[in-house]
Structure 1
Amino acid sequence: MLALAGVMVTGVPAAAAPGPVLLADTNRSGALDWADLPGKGRWSPQRGAIFLPNVDDDAKRCKVTDADMADNSLAVDARLAACNDAQDDVVNGPQDVADFAPLRTMPRNVSQNGTVSLGAGEGRYARLWVERDGAWASLGESGVLTAAELRRGVRLGLEGRDVIRDKAVWNGVVTVSVTAGGTDSVQLRVAPLIMQNDLRAPRRVVTSEPPVPELRAGYDEFRAGLRQAMEAANLPESALTAVTNYDRWFQDILEPTTASMPGPGGKPQVMHVLLRSANYRPAVEWEGELYPPSLRPAGKVAFATLRGPNVGVVQQYTDQRGPAVDDSLNSTGNYESLPPYRGHELGRPLYGSTPDRRPDPTFTTLIGSQYAEPVVIDTSWLVVGHSDETVHVIPARNARGWTLMVADPRLAVDVLRQATKDGHGGAVLFDGTAEPVKPTIDAALADPKFLEQNDTAARHIDTQLAVLLRETGLTTSDLVRVPVLFEQYTWEQLATETAALTESGRVTRSMIVDLRDRMKAGKAPRTAFAAHTAGIPNGISLGGGVFGAPDPHGPRVDGIDLFKRETERALAGTPVRVRWVEDWQFLHKGLGEVHCGTNALREPTRADWWRA
């Protein structure tokens, strides 16, 4: 019995015919044996060996200096993204070998040296390794195997050097061939990047900690509420990482995924792969100074703080963008994941896009090249334009185990109308906040514009739901609707309120100018919306059914927040337990909520995805 990085090779026969025999884990059992022979030459979803994109940093050799963090040039971004275990020909610590896919030539009766090689042009995507005298040596895309090695049988490894970025360019498959008096080949495919979903428990929750006092308004209350919600989910204090960062929008700077392959004993070998947001800012002149093109600076925290053993980072963007690309939609708060359901056993990506207002096409191509066709909804009517602003996946007691929580402006207005009927029309919106204007329920309902704008927002959400119900098979009765009021902006209002809207950094001045120009040109809806009361679905799932929701600050009657009460009633038939998190000053006022200010590394959607 022979072992390769803990993967066992069993049933090895005596040397026989002279032609080579090359094995990979074709049957995905975690062991190399003769059962891997059938079908090994052609990869299929049902059968074929899998390898990892080795983009983590097992030895933590990739250093990010303070100078790197301060330098926003694209050259620094490219250098940081290029540093990972796959970019050198050194074994980076004992954990690194576990990221190699095992291969083996079986003992054969040969008298001449042979070669092992990748298919033409595949060296940019993978690297071959050979084990000699107890140590691993890189062969690159090809190498010589001695006759003595071939007679004994050779232990090989395959290391993925990249992820699938465009399946039309590379579909993830490589062919490894051994030639020695004949040729034998196996095909392997790189593991897809599978997006997390909110039904899976987080292993680690991350948020930003502002480094200067002027950015900390409301932060302490937000962090305390987040920590209390985590405690309700039995997450230890060590599970929360607060990264010193000027950019508070942690959901918007990276999207976590996982890649996995069969490991020893059939246990999956799992790697988290973080997709840095494709937020690209072209060169701009501002107040007489020229600023060179750059990526979102905060994205570098993925390299500096999160990259390490079994955590890699991938960067994908293009600076060749058509006029329809809106950089706000490149923030990764726009990218979510639907959990598995019939016909889509790994779930599906979800993001917002329209022909006239869409994200970076190379990033969406990467997303769509992995494991499932994405679901795309219209978010062009929102100022920020993200899919997480209106819907959130939650657990449910139904056959599929999940449903959607949906922001419902009509329900919010109905709650206000009922309060008026009950004699509480004098209660105020935004109760418990420092808002300078707190309209009463009666005043809000007497304002035709207030009613019209919430009806318009509701109709936009109806359009989103029509797509989601059609694509998932959910029904309207499955949905959990919660009260959220929306406010409306015309392009003229965006022009006059640019400074206030961009103060938190959620959207930049160029994003607002871009949206305003689209609205003027008829390439976006005439009005744009943002949550007026806190967007309740825009919270964080913490496992065990605990949902950290933003405090809506709805009208209070007898000390009870009517929007909270309505939300808790709507969730009463589900496994969800709400924990309210105060985010009004720190996040809501900046056009975001709890979800926007956090991120999480979760348990994989399905580590053994090949069995789905």
Structure 2
Amino acid sequence: MAPQNAVQLSLKKPTYAVCVVGIKTYVDVRSDVPKGAKAFGVSGSSGVGIIMVYDPARVTEPAGKSHWPLDADVDVTITVDTASKDLNDLKVKVSYFRQDEDRALGHSVLYLTGVDVSLDVDTGRKGKVKRSRGDKKTWRWGPEGYGAILLVNCDRDSPKSKGLDLADSKLTTLDDLKDMSPMVLTCDGPDKVFDSHKLVLKVPLSDARRVGVFCARGGNSLSNYKQVLGPQHLFYEVERQPGEREISFYVEGLAFPDTNFSGLVSLSVSLVDKRTLLEVTIFTDTVAFRMAPWIMTPNTQPPLELFVCSVVDAHGSNEKFLRDLSDLVSKANCKLIICPWIENRNDRWIQDEMEFGYVDAPHKSFPVVFDSPRNRGLKDFPYKRILGPDFGYVTKEIPFAGASGLDSFGNLDVSPPVTVGGKEYPLGRILIGSSFPKSGGRRMAKVVRDFLKAQQVQAPVELYSDWLSVGHVDEFLSFVPTSDQKGFRLLLASPSVCLRLFQEKKEEGHGEAAQFDGLKNQAKRSINEMLADRRLRRDSLHVQKCIDWNREVLKRELGLTEQDIVDIPQLFYLQGPYAEAFFPDMVNMVVLGQHLGIPKPFGPLINGRCCLEEKVRSLLEPLGLHCTFIDDFLSYHKLLGEIHCGTNVRRQPFPFKWWHMVP
């Protein structure tokens, strides 16, 4: 470690210096030397380490009564082992000699006071602060990595707070401390040395709006916790009490990683000699933190809560749909939360409004809802009803222009963990729908895409979804968990599989079996009619090409093979340049563990059973999945959405710790 302080000696009077435990101090032995001196010797009291720095090729270490040559490049550095009990209780003596003489020509005396100053955080990522003399200013990824972690304090622990906890410069509840990362300042030494020296805690200007620090003085009173660093405070002169050896701090994150913010922030403490007009910094200790990213959870994670809206429209209420979902939730052993009409204002598309994720640090984890910029009837629901104690909130506003349909979060998904060409993505990869490359069509807003990319741990993949009328990826893909070694399957909507199925049924003599049989106010279409409908066939085969393009991207970017993909029969038709599902889109399902809530397709009945349902069961039930077909025709399908669009699931976080990966 390079010396951080230098001391110049004098023959005429003793020199006094403060040394920080474990830190090398350079001693200038050449500035004031007796006339005729050619050599020198150094001695020190117990507790002082003396280190001679020289080039062995040019200088021979003295033996016996010989001394170090003054004219060679021999430097002296010293260290102290522990904090002093009293002022100036350590001593270093430098004696000067003529060539080959034992009688000293003069002496310089240095009196030292050892102080122990160290700023420490949870660099080992164990959930506790441990004293470290290693590299604390560097942050490294991976299982062998190190460096402390901050949670963005984006929940609201106190009902008295009007906004997020990170907006409060005063502590409103002691529970809020649990969201913060501990930091300990060691400041041991004689009290008198701190009369002439001060400790200054600092945050760089660039980091001040992204991190807050509270000083803790113990006790259960909120007044014992004071914000000392943050957007309005760049430095803090530490108020050390007599005899105090350690001072506790709590550090909170104020911003997620984003376009111009890597997620790294630093804090430092400096020991400053204030006895001179130009105060001299003797020592600085710096620690680095990385902000915990926002992490999405895929369908393969176990469900905790399913959210759905209660609505009433021209077709009536969705009460029957809610009952069917309630039965499914009971089977999956998770919780059903119904957003009432008065809160959703008849906006049923709760998947589009928000996405559930979480943040994770060694000391704590909590869920965080990402509120989309779509801002329709449900716009206040995530902030007013989900934000709360240990439930965070984040959003990204679109500047200058309103949100497009592709900014809704039905257009946001995430894969299960995958390995691609030897590179592991243990938290999966985010999938967002976009325009065809270089086509200039609709695309998710840049502020949202940039935010997702900046989290680093779920490297996003852009897919082509602009061919759809609504334009969301959940209209043609879904992931389901399996109990085999792969652990999941990718489901893709497939017009070609559907046309092939209908052709098979026709050849078996069921050509008059009709699509939409049993639905009121909906024209039936026999298998023969559908196969003979050139427009329906042409439109569906156009859609198949769009899905096939995505298929190749998904195979390449997620490391999938054909065996990892299941094709779900589905037909589409074009309205102008955009496609819509011809019958309820079965891929747009809700996944609750092994239990799937699939839009009821109302396919042709053969021997009393829907051939589309039977086909899907034959594909998914051998994988250990249970298929429940739910009627969403009037309440969702006719409005260009399905079950996934009208539901939202909060899931268990990954057991894998994001800091163990290497982006």
- Normalised by the shorter chain, which TM-score bucket? 0.7 to 0.9
Describe how 1:489-568 pairs up with structure 2 within 5 A: 489-490=575-576, 527-543=577-593, 545-568=594-617
Q: 1:86 to 1:216 in 2, by over 3 A?
A: farther
Task: Sort the Cα spacing of 1:203 and 1:405 in 2 relative to 1 into closer, same or farther, 3 A.
Answer: same
The 5-angstrom pairing of residues 458-469 of structure 1 reads 458-469=544-555
Residue 391 of structure 1 and its aligned partner are, at CA, apart by 0.7
Equivalent in the alignment of 1:396: 482
Question: CA separation in 2, counterparts of 1:223 and 1:149?
Answer: 65
Distance across 1 between alignment mates of 2:316 and 2:265: 52
1:185 corresponding residue in structure 2 = 286
Normalised to the residue count of structure 1, the TM-score between the two structures is 0.81
Residues 303, 651 of structure 2: 8 Å contact kept: yes
Mark the CA change 1:215 to 1:136 in structure 2 (over 3 Å): closer, same or farther. farther
What are structure 1's unaligned runs of at least 5 residues?
1-12, 64-82, 264-268, 280-294, 491-526
Q: What are the within-5 Å matches in structure 2 for residues 45-56 of structure 1?
A: 45=141, 46-56=145-155
- Please state whether the residue corresponding to 2:480 is helix, strand or coil: strand
> Which residue of structure 1 aligns with residue 251 of structure 2?
158
Matched, 1:259 2:359: yes
| Deviation readout 1:438-475 (Å, 9 max, x if unpaired) | 11111111111121111111111101111000111111
CA distance in 2, matches of 1:445, 1:160: 59
Equivalent residue in structure 1 for 2:382, among 302, 308, 327: 302
**Corresponding position: 1:171 with 2:262:** yes
Query: More helix by proportion, 1 or 2?
Result: 1
Q: CA offsets per residue over residues 244-272 of structure 1, 9 Å max, x none?
A: 31200000001112111111xxxxx1122
- Cα distance in 1 for partners of 2:371, 2:317 equals 27
Matched, 1:86 2:166: yes
Q: How does 1:109-188 map to 2 (within 5 A)?
A: 109=189, 110-111=193-194, 112-134=197-219, 135-141=224-230, 142-148=235-241, 151-166=244-259, 169-181=260-272, 182-188=283-289
What displacement does 1:140 show?
2.8
Indicate the residue corresponding to 1:373 in structure 2: 459
State yes or no: 1:580 paired with 2:644.
no
The aligned amino acid for 2:285 is: D
| Partner of residue 226, structure 1 | 325
How far residue 241 of structure 1 moved from its aligned partner, in angstroms, is: 3.2
Which residue among 402, 414, 417 is the counterpart of 1:337? Answer: 414
The reply on whether 1:26 has 2:127 as its aligned counterpart is no
Instruction: Give 1:218 deviation, angstroms.
Output: 5.3
SS for the counterpart of 1:25 is coil
Q: 1:421 to 1:607 in 2, by over 3 A?
A: same
Deviations 1:470-490 (A, max 9, x none): 111111122111111112111
Q: How far 1:150 sits from its partner (Å)? A: 8.4
Q: In the superposition, relative to structure 1, how do residues 202 and 215 fare at CA in structure 2: closer, same or farther (>3 Å)? A: farther
Q: How many residues in Structure 1 have an aligned counterpart in Structure 2?
A: 514
Deviations 1:290-319 (A, max 9, x none): xxxxx4342211111111011122121223
After TM superposition, the structure 1 stretch with the greater mean CA deviation from structure 2, 53-62 or 582-591, is 53-62
Give the Cα–Cα distance (whole angstroms) in 1 for the partners of residues 151 and 417 of structure 2: 22
3-state SS of 1:462 partner: helix
Q: 1:42 aligns with which of 129, 138, 141?
A: 138
Q: Aligned to 1:589, what secondary structure does the other structure show?
A: helix
Match of 1:240 in 2: 337
More strand by share: 2
Q: State the one-letter code of the partner of 1:452.
A: R
Give the letter for the 1:143 counterpart. Answer: Y
C-alpha distance in 2 between matches for 1:61 and 1:254: 25
The CA RMSD measured in Å over matched residues stands at: 1.9
Aligned position for 2:299:
198
Query: Does the aligned pair in 2 maintain the 1:26–1:37 contact within 8 Å?
Result: no
Query: Counterparts of 1:479-498 in structure 2 under 5 Å?
Result: 479-490=565-576
Deviation at 1:23, TM superposition (A): 0.6
Distance 1:377 1:576 in 2: 27
CA-to-partner distance for each residue in 1:83-130, whole Å, 9 max, x for gaps?
200101222323211001111112422523312121222121111111
Distance 1:402 1:467 in 2: 18
Equivalences for residues 344-355 of structure 1 within 5 A: 344-354=425-435, 355=440
Secondary structure of 1:232's match?
Answer: helix
Mapped contact 2:310–2:338 kept (Cα < 8 A): no
Give the letter for the 2:575 counterpart: Y
Change (3 A) 1:196 1:418: same
Change (3 A) 1:235 1:22: same
C-alpha separation in 1, matches of 2:612 and 2:393: 39
Q: What displacement does 1:235 show?
A: 2.3
